[in-house]
Amino acid sequence: MFFGLAIVGCGSDLWSKSVVFAWLGMPEDHRYFWLIEPYVGFQTSLNRGALFGLGQGYTPMFAVFSVIAVLGILYWLFIAKAAYDAILTTALGMITGGIFGNLYDRLGIWGEAAVRDFILFQYGPKYVWPNFNIADALLVCGAALMVWHSLFGKPGGIPSNSVSASEQSEGHR
């Protein structure tokens, strides 16, 4: 499940970036496509920083942090045995897909060392959410799922109102 989510997530992100940038061009072309005008649409932009454009110019540092994060996730899942928890595995698969999608861009494999963003949300000209991409959405949704799991889930993916097999056998003694 982990590898499937990471591969499909990263692949979807890279495919969508390629399609939208080929269609609308680079940001200096100033082209938009509205799904729901003027609230939701596509507009290409490049981000040489991190979340919300913070840390502009630190692309190499964010690439190193991405690699460290993936190594930590792999350790957590497969050595520390967190992979037995389906919710945690799902969240970390989504996060890993997002990390690799943006890492591909940060390494400049597509031609420039910048993350390609294209999803646009705004409410009027004054309230514009920073452009983002599928990798960013995977990172945010994966992190939200981890927070939800830490608040409401039990380790091992056992719902909080369930009784484990060992607890049931102890009750019959």
- Using DSSP, state whether 8 is helix, strand or coil: helix
- Position 171 in a domain: no
- Position 22 in a domain: yes
DSSP string covering 72-120: HHHIIIIIS-GGG-HHHHHHHHHHHHHHHHHHHHHTTTTSSSSEEEEEE
**117 in active site:** yes
- Position 166 in a domain: no
CB 149 within 8 A of CB 88: yes
Please list the pLDDT of the chain residue by residue as tens digits (173 residues).
Answer: 999 999 999 999 999 999 999 999 999 999 999 999 999 999 999 999 888 788 898 999 999 999 999 999 999 999 999 899 999 999 999 999 999 999 999 999 999 999 999 999 999 888 999 999 999 999 999 999 999 999 998 755 444 444 444 444 455 44
- Position 164 in a domain: no
CB 15 within 8 A of CB 101: no
- Position 169 in a domain: no
Among residues 13, 85, 105, 117, the one annotated as catalytic is 117
Residue 114 gets the label, from left (phi > 0), alpha (psi -120 to 50) or beta, of beta
- Position 17 in a domain: yes
**136 in active site:** yes
- Using DSSP, state whether 143 is helix, strand or coil: helix
At residue 53, the pLDDT reads 80
Give how many domains the chain has, as a whole number. 1
Domain that holds residue 123: 2-27+41-158
What residues pair up with 32 in beta bridges, in sequence order?
43
- Position 87 in a domain: yes
- Position 36 in a domain: no
Nearest residue to 103 (alpha-carbon basis) of 92, 118, 114, 91:
114
Among residues 13, 85, 105, 136, the one annotated as catalytic is 136
Residues 6+ apart with CB under 8 A from 60: 106
Dihedral angle computed from the Cα positions of residues 155, 139, 67 and 117, in that order, rounded to the nearest 10 degrees: 180
The span from the CA of 61 to the CA of 117, in Å, is: 19
